Amino acid sequence: MTAMIDIAALDDIPRQGARVVKTEAGCVAVFRTADDQVFALDDRCPHKGGPLSEGIVHGTSVTCPLHNWVFDLATGIAKGADEGQVRTYPARMENGRVLLDVSFLQRRSAA
Amino acid sequence: MMRLVVIGAGMASGRMLEQLFEAGFAGEVTLFNGEPRGNYNRLMLSPVLSGEKTYAQIVTHDDAWYAAHGVECRFGEHVTKIDRERKVVVSKRGETPYDALVIATGSAPFIIPVAGKELPGVCTYRDLEDTNAMIAASRPGAKAVVIGGGLLGLEAAAGMAARGAEVTVIHLMGHLMERQLDPSAGYLLQKDLERRGIRIHCTGATKAILGAERVEAVLLEDATVYPADLVCMAVGIRPEVRLATDAHLEIGRGVVVDDQMRTSDPAIFALGECVEHNKQLFGLVAPLYDQAKVLAATLMGTEAAFRPVQTATKLKVTGVDLFSAGDFADAPGREDIVFRDPGRGVYKRLVLEGDQLIGAVMYGDTGDGSWFFDKIKSGEDVSGARETLIFGPAFQGGAQADPLAAVAALPPEAEICGCNGVCKGKITAAVAAGAVTLDAVRVETKASASCGTCTGLVEKVMALTLGDSFTANANPPMCKCTDHTHEDVRRMIKAQGLKSIPAVMQELGWKTVGGCASCRPALNYYLISDWPLEYRDDRQSRFVNERNHANIQKDGTYSVVPRMWGGVTTSAELRAIADAADRYAVPMIKVTGGQRIDLLGVKKHDLPAIWADLNDAGMVSGHAYAKGLRTVKTCVGTEFCRFGTQDSTGLGIKLEKLLWGSWTPAKVKLAVSGCPRNCAEATCKDIGVVCVDSGYQISVAGAAGMDVKETELLCTVATEEEAMEVISAFVQLYRENARYLHRIYKWVAKVGLDWCKAQIADPANRRALHDRFILSQRIYQTDPWAELAERPADWAPIADLTLRAAE
């Protein structure tokens, strides 16, 4: 089941940038691309735990600020020679607002 | 006999009636239209606005046509209600019964809810009334503002400009037509429109429309005011569903219809821009015509089903060629093929998913648009032709295209370098005469020595002439996004006056859509360095440390280093640092190699507060994270030391106050020692000053990191003033010429110390360099902490759901 909730205004996230949503299950990085698509991923690089929200966003990819691993924002899969995947969460933009599926939190609290 | 009532005489219902009569429909038709006229080609309003066509030329069905087919026209008469129980529609002149009803109410322009939106002189761009209002207001010299830089807004702007009005387009997004174009193509379009005298203001949010009796000006959120005699709102449309909603038909974003165009009431049908089919809305004409065909068949009792097809759009502005088709958004599993021809202002982008072409955008040369559109519609496997696909049909079917073969086929008189008018024959002659490197060819012929975009072509000519003995430019390209080297990019930014990242990417033929984490920070630096007044820093193109003005640590915390001029501090500053360390529970306080105090382990959300505290104690950012001036290390000099020859501490402080602020290609560290014993270790710095009795020895290009290298003497001067001018001029020389991320010693190794000496030795040149550095300092010598500490919310999480989860 999905549970989309309104997180913030799109304009609170800089274009080609990200902001962080704090949750019980750790921080989620919400990205905004140059063409205003939004993506949500765990704010933690599987390599050494770098905050992906602080990486440079290019196209629909982000480069981790610590050691330059590159991840596809839509799938969370590492690009190039590196192997790894970041968990992704459904997110979308609607009427200038950013919506995030927080069902992963409900599953957690129900468990 | 069937009584058919149609509400709305737009392009979709017009086509539907045509199809119906062709199929031999024998019922009675009543056609209502809110506009006081019949069906015309709405798509052609733009040529009417620009004066290239008249209204009469775009009428598709005239009175004679309606009369010939026995259509009862009720134009200018609004239907106010649908009574589904009694199967009648209600209008001013009473009730009209129907057996079948077609809702074709189209769409309504979206009006942004700002103050002044109802003032006379504010219009939308939807129908002939709007068009006529714009024509009337477009007398030469009149001022018009168009809100919205999409397809419709730009057509309105171009039309009014063609009639002589001074037009400004205000667009909310960062570049024009962002739904169809990427930033680089948006830049090309903006350049074309600006060349026609249309002013473009992107990232502009309208705050209010000003005026007493009628519209006088438009006010933006950033406080810009544009005077206006007419304001056209073209920010989008939405389906006109009021009648259908009142009749309690099923509505989503539009009137919901099935494959036969039937609504939730079996006697009522809908088509055109007001419908929603499979959760999809339709704004382009091709699918509307398909709907018309299906509905006509349904009404004739024939079986038909609506299947939406891919659509293509073209911007209808004379002289601006833009084509887009299919789906061209970035998404996982999709690949881009990008082709740019800067010389001709051409941009093409194909989007592939698996083996299929699914989208295409082209600007400047749209001749192959329909060929690509066919490929998109057919969904055929294009993997075999992938290499040459973007060159269009002319390149398909033959042998694999060999780029060298094309150059080989050129006649000797073919022009290779447009800037300097150098033909192929001249280059081959120069090569034959011994110019076997690119630099030598540049010197001999001037080919590729100005703007540089022909470098690849020149190299191909050289390769053909030299055969295997030719080795292409050994200098590797900047990154995988481009074939140009850092040096070439820097040169072309200056030569071509490129002043934005999209401009560089377009004009220099970038192969990716948004660059990468390697080229974006480099381009941002080059633009800052070359255009201090015109270019605005792009924060999102910076590495985390420079974006957050603090060094990120391995655990995601940050280090904070306040500036201590020349390494000198006071008891009050130390107390303030100690207090801040306590208040923010700083886990480690460390003295750095550059004579500073480093507070390590500060959490991101505490940064604005700790900065504010340190600011209050009179300290500014130490730029310990910056590609810029880091520190000037000093010894105590004549003030205290019995060996000191000059006031090394004083000069160090003066140098630090002169140099801090402006960005440089890589970090810059200085030191000033008061005597040749060199306690400040000045001879392994980027720039070191060693004081002697007779003055100051300035040496440069030292290193004490991965490489260890002693500095080399640049010059010796007699006074502090001269020392400061030489050093600021040298820093500017480095800023203007070095490759991004190259420290001074690497750059000097490339250009040679003698070249640097010659640049600095010439007094006029030295002064000019110094002046350009001071100009840059006027903009960039500001404390980032003071600026950023005022926006603490930007450093905190955007939302906190930890409480929510406990519910």
Q: Which of A30-44, A62-76, B414-428, B528-542 has the lowest mean pLDDT?
A: B414-428
CB contacts of A108 in chain B (<8 Å) are 805
- For residue B631 the two structure tokens come to 């520190």
Q: Which of B152-166, B176-190, B316-330, B686-700 has the lowest mean pLDDT?
A: B316-330
Q: Give how far A84 is from chain B: nearest CA, Å.
A: 16
* pLDDT: which is higher, B382 or B472: B382
Cβ pair A35:B556 closer than 8 A = no
Cβ pair A19:B182 closer than 8 A = no
Q: What is the DSSP letter of B437?
A: S
Which of B514, B556, B799 comes nearest A8 by C-beta?
A: B799
**For residues B506 and B775, what is the distance between their CA atoms, to the nearest angstrom?**
28
Mean pLDDT in residue range B248-267: 94
**pLDDT at residue B162 is higher than 70:** yes
Mean pLDDT in residue range B349-373: 84
Q: What is the pLDDT of residues B713-737, one digit of tens each?
A: 999 999 999 999 999 999 999 999 9
Structure confidence at residue B472 (pLDDT): 62
pLDDT band at A67 (very low <50, low <70, confident <90, very high): confident
**For residues B375 and B388, what is the distance between their CA atoms, to the nearest angstrom?**
14
pLDDT band at A80 (very low <50, low <70, confident <90, very high): confident
Question: Where does chain B hold its CATH 3.50.50.60 domain(s)?
Answer: 3-108+239-299, 111-235
**pLDDT at residue B671 is higher than 60:** yes
Cβ pair B517:A15 closer than 8 A = no
**pLDDT at residue B398 is higher than 70:** no
Question: Where does chain B hold its CATH 3.30.390.30 domain(s)?
Answer: 321-401
Q: Which of B277-291, B495-509, B565-579 has the lowest mean pLDDT?
A: B277-291
Which of A16, A27, A65 comes nearest B544 by C-beta?
A: A65
Structure confidence at residue B474 (pLDDT): 61
User: Residue A56 is part of a domain; what is its CATH number?
Assistant: 2.102.10.10
Burial of residue A36 (number of CB atoms within 10 Å: 0-12, 13-18, 19+): middle
Q: Which structural domain, as residue segments, surrounds residue A77? A: 14-90
What is B111-235's CATH number?
Answer: 3.50.50.60
Which of A7, A70, A74 comes nearest B799 by C-beta?
A: A7
B741-to-A75, B667, B745 alpha-carbon distances in Å: 32, 8, 11
**pTM for the structure as a whole:** 0.65
Cβ pair B517:A33 closer than 8 A = no
Q: Which CATH architecture has domain B3-108+239-299?
A: 3-Layer(bba) Sandwich (3.50)
Cβ pair B543:A56 closer than 8 A = yes
Share of chain B above pLDDT 90, in %: 54
Is residue A104 assigned to a domain?
A: no
Q: What is the β-pairing status of strands B94-97 and B88-91? A: antiparallel
**pLDDT at residue B483 is higher than 90:** no
Q: Most B CBs within 10 Å: which of A19, A54, A67, A68, as the mutation test of the B interface? A: A54
Is residue A95 assigned to a domain?
A: no
Mean pLDDT in residue range B51-60: 84
Which of B182, B556, B802 comes nearest A51 by C-beta?
A: B556
Q: Which residue from B minimizes the CA distance to A24?
A: B802
Mean pLDDT in residue range B516-538: 94
* pLDDT: which is higher, B196 or B263: B263
**pLDDT at residue B403 is higher than 80:** no
Q: Most B CBs within 10 Å: which of A6, A13, A16, A39, as the mutation test of the B interface? A: A16
pLDDT band at B807 (very low <50, low <70, confident <90, very high): very low
Q: Most B CBs within 10 Å: which of A56, A73, A82, A102, as the mutation test of the B interface? A: A56
Q: Nearest Cα to B552, choosing from B502, B602, B484?
A: B602
Is residue A9 assigned to a domain?
A: no
Structure confidence at residue A104 (pLDDT): 82
Quickly list H helices, B436-593.
438-445, 455-466, 486-495, 501-507, 519-530, 544-548, 571-583
Mean pLDDT in residue range B24-38: 90
Cβ pair B540:A57 closer than 8 A = yes
Q: Nearest Cα to B15, choosing from B287, B246, B352, B211?
A: B287
Residue type, B154: L
Q: Which CATH class is domain B321-401?
A: alpha beta
Collapsing DSSP states into helix, strand and coil, what is residue B416? strand
Collapsing DSSP states into helix, strand and coil, what is residue B626? coil
Is residue A21 assigned to a domain?
A: yes
Name the interface residues of B facing A (CB cutoff 8 Å): 173-174, 178, 182-183, 329-332, 512-517, 520-521, 539-544, 547-548, 552, 554-556, 797-802, 804-807
Phi, psi at B193, each rounded to 5°: -70, -40
- For residue B403 the two structure tokens come to 């780029």
Structure confidence at residue B452 (pLDDT): 64
Is residue A1 assigned to a domain?
A: no
CB contacts of B337 in chain A (<8 Å) are none
Q: What is the DSSP letter of B646?
A: S
Sheet hosting strand B322-326, strand order edge to edge: B312-314, B322-326, B356-363, B346-353, B334-341
Residue type, B667: K
- For residue A30 the two structure tokens come to 């919400």
Structure confidence at residue B780 (pLDDT): 93
Q: What is the DSSP letter of A66?
A: T
Cβ pair A54:B520 closer than 8 A = no
pLDDT band at B401 (very low <50, low <70, confident <90, very high): very low
Number of domains forming the structure of chain A:
1
**For residues B433 and B414, what is the distance between their CA atoms, to the nearest angstrom?**
20
Q: Which residue from B minimizes the CA distance to A62?
A: B517
**pLDDT at residue B806 is higher than 60:** no
HSE toward the beta carbon, residue B345, CA cutoff 13 A: 13
Structure confidence at residue A62 (pLDDT): 96
Is residue A101 assigned to a domain?
A: no
Query: Do residues B91 and B83 make contact, with C-beta atoms less than 8 angstroms apart?
Result: no
B322-to-B45, B58, B91, B316, B505 alpha-carbon distances in Å: 18, 22, 43, 8, 19
- For residue B253 the two structure tokens come to 């974003």
Q: Nearest Cα to B560, choosing from B593, B515, B507, B606?
A: B606
Please report the sign of the dihedral spanned by the C-alpha atoms of residue B235, residue B241, residue B242, residue B243. positive
**For residues B332 and B536, what is the distance between their CA atoms, to the nearest angstrom?**
32
Phi, psi at B756, each rounded to 5°: -60, -45
Q: Give how far A103 is from chain B: nearest CA, Å.
A: 10
* pLDDT: which is higher, B125 or B467: B125
Is residue A108 assigned to a domain?
A: no
B217 membership: H or E segment, kind and range: strand B217-220
Q: Give how far A109 is from chain B: nearest CA, Å.
A: 7
Cβ pair A63:B178 closer than 8 A = no
The highest-confidence range among B175-189, B379-393, B558-572, by mean pLDDT, is B558-572
Cβ pair A33:B330 closer than 8 A = yes
Question: Where does chain B hold its CATH 3.90.480.10 domain(s)?
Answer: 545-621
Structure confidence at residue A109 (pLDDT): 52
Phi, psi at B757, each rounded to 5°: -60, -45
DSSP annotation string for B139-156: -TT-EEEEE--SHHHHHH
Q: Nearest Cα to B355, choosing from B389, B324, B406?
A: B389
Q: Which residue from A minimizes the CA distance to B177?
A: A35
CB contacts of A24 in chain B (<8 Å) are 801-802, 805-806
**For residues B717 and B335, what is the distance between their CA atoms, to the nearest angstrom?**
59
Q: Nearest Cα to B311, choosing from B380, B376, B235, B379?
A: B376
Query: Do residues B45 and B131 make contact, with C-beta atoms less than 8 angstroms apart?
Result: yes
Tell me the pLDDT of chain B averaged across its residues.
88
CB contacts of B174 in chain A (<8 Å) are 15, 34
Q: What is the pLDDT of residues B305-330, one digit of tens each?
A: 998 876 777 666 666 778 888 777 77
Calculate ∠ Cα A42-A44-A45, nearest 5°.
Answer: 120
Cβ pair B797:A20 closer than 8 A = yes
Cβ pair B801:A105 closer than 8 A = yes
pLDDT band at B512 (very low <50, low <70, confident <90, very high): confident
B613 membership: H or E segment, kind and range: helix B607-616
- For residue B29 the two structure tokens come to 């038709």
**For residues B440 and B800, what is the distance between their CA atoms, to the nearest angstrom?**
62
Q: Nearest Cα to B731, choosing from B663, B652, B649?
A: B663
Cβ pair B540:A13 closer than 8 A = no
**For residues B644 and B235, what is the distance between their CA atoms, to the nearest angstrom?**
71
CB contacts of B520 in chain A (<8 Å) are 56, 58
Mean pLDDT in residue range A15-32: 93
Q: Which residue from B minimizes the CA distance to A104?
A: B805
Q: Which CATH architecture has domain B405-504+519-538?
A: Orthogonal Bundle (1.10)
pLDDT band at B783 (very low <50, low <70, confident <90, very high): very high
Buried b / exposed e over B500-527, threshold 16 CB at 10 Å, is: bbbbbbbbbbbbbbbbbbbbbbbbbbbb
Cβ pair A19:B797 closer than 8 A = yes
Q: Which CATH class is domain B629-782?
A: alpha beta
* pLDDT: which is higher, B717 or B412: B717
Structure confidence at residue B310 (pLDDT): 66
Q: Which CATH architecture has domain B545-621?
A: Alpha-Beta Complex (3.90)
pLDDT band at A111 (very low <50, low <70, confident <90, very high): very low
Is residue A107 assigned to a domain?
A: no
Structure confidence at residue A107 (pLDDT): 61
Q: What is the pLDDT of residues B596-631, one digit of tens each?
A: 999 999 999 999 999 999 999 999 999 999 999 999
CB contacts of B329 in chain A (<8 Å) are 35, 37
Structure confidence at residue B396 (pLDDT): 61
**For residues B151 and B407, what is the distance between their CA atoms, to the nearest angstrom?**
39
* pLDDT: which is higher, B445 or A43: A43
Q: Most A CBs within 10 Å: which of B330, B335, B537, B557, as the mutation test of the A interface? A: B330
Please report the sign of the dihedral spanned by the C-alpha atoms of residue B427, residue B429, residue B430, residue B432. positive
Structure confidence at residue B613 (pLDDT): 95
DSSP annotation string for B650-701: HHHHHHHHHHSSSB-SS-EEEEEESSTT-TT-GGGSSEEEEEETTEEEEEE-
Q: Give how far B794 is from chain A: nearest CA, Å.
A: 8
Q: Nearest Cα to B20, choosing from B292, B272, B290, B263?
A: B292
pLDDT band at B178 (very low <50, low <70, confident <90, very high): confident
Query: Do residues B198 and B158 make contact, with C-beta atoms less than 8 angstroms apart?
Result: yes
pLDDT band at B391 (very low <50, low <70, confident <90, very high): confident
Q: Most A CBs within 10 Å: which of B525, B536, B798, B800, as the mutation test of the A interface? A: B798
